[in-house]
Amino acid sequence: MRILQRRLIALAAALTLLPLAAQAQQAAASVAAPSSTSASTVPGAGRDMQRVDQANRVLKEIMMAPDSGIPQSLMQDAHAIAVIPGVIKAGFILGGRYGEGLVAIKTPQGTWSNPAFVSITGASLGFQAGVSSTDIILVFRSERGVDRLVHGEFTLGADLGVAAGPVGRYANASTNGELSAEIYSYSRSRGLFAGVALDGARIGIDDSADQRVYGKDITARRIFEGQVNQVPQPVVDFRDRLEEYTQK
C-alpha cells in the first residue's frame, strides 16, 4: 500500500510539473531563436506565438525529410492535421505527458482553416524511465474525429482509433484501402526515454490560447469557419504550409 501511495504521489507531481517543464522548454527556445512576430499586448500571447513558430518548424522539417516524411496521399485525404511540438513525457513506472500545439481542418471548399490551439495530456503506466521531448503530428482520417475535437477533448486510442502512420512519400500508394484507423500518428523524439507505456493521451481545444491570439469569445468552431478578423502572420504561414504539403 505504501509503495502504491508513493507512486500515486509521484504521478501527481509529474502531471503538475509537466506543463511547467513545457513552458520552460518553450522559453528556452524563444531565447535561442526569437519569434518572428511582434509580441502581443495580451499576457501570454507571446508564448502562444512561439508555439506557432515551433509548429511551423516541425511541420516543415518532417515534411521535407525525403525518405521518412508523411505520405503525400495521406496528407491530401486528411480531414484535419494537428502539429504538437515538444511534447514532454516523464516518468518512472508511473508517468505523464504534456504538450501544446495547433490543429487545422479541411473546409468544405477543400482549403485549410486557420488553426485552433490544442493541448495534449496523459498519464502512463508501464516499463518506462526517463524524460523525452517528442514532436507529434496527428493526421485525422475521418470527420468523426474532427467533430469530437470541436465538441471537446477525447482520448486517443479509446474514443478514436489511433495507429502509427506509414512512413515515406509513397508508402501507402497501393494500400489506401487498408488504412482504416481514424487517426495516424507520427513522432520525432529526442532526449532519454525507454520502454513501452500502456496509456492513452487526451487531446482538446485550448480555448484560452485561442482567445489570446484571435480575440475575446472566439471558439474553435468560429476559427474553423473563418469567423476571425485578426490572424497573425505566422498563423497564416502555418495554414499556407498545409496547403503546400497537401496539394494534389
Residue 201 has pLDDT above 80, yes or no: yes
Q: Which of 12-21, 104-113, 185-194, 196-205 has the lowest mean pLDDT?
A: 12-21
Residue 248 has pLDDT above 80, yes or no: no
pLDDT tens per residue, range 116-167: 999 998 876 555 556 778 888 899 998 888 888 888 788 887 777 777 777 7
pLDDT tens per residue, range 35-88: 444 445 677 788 899 999 999 999 888 877 666 678 888 888 999 999 999 888
Domain boundaries, the chain: 2-245
State residue 68's pLDDT score: 61
User: Which DSSP state fits 156?
Assistant: B
**Cα–Cα distance for residue pair 188/89, rounded to 1 Å:** 13
User: Exposed, middle or buried by CB within 10 Å (0-12, 13-18, 19+), for 170?
Assistant: exposed
State residue 125's pLDDT score: 58
**Cα–Cα distance for residue pair 137/94, rounded to 1 Å:** 24
Global confidence as pTM:
0.77
User: Exposed, middle or buried by CB within 10 Å (0-12, 13-18, 19+), for 174?
Assistant: exposed
User: Which DSSP state fits 196?
Assistant: -
- What dihedral do alpha carbons 50, 51, 57, 63 form, nearest 10°? -170
3-state secondary structure 107-121: CCCCCECCCEEEEEE
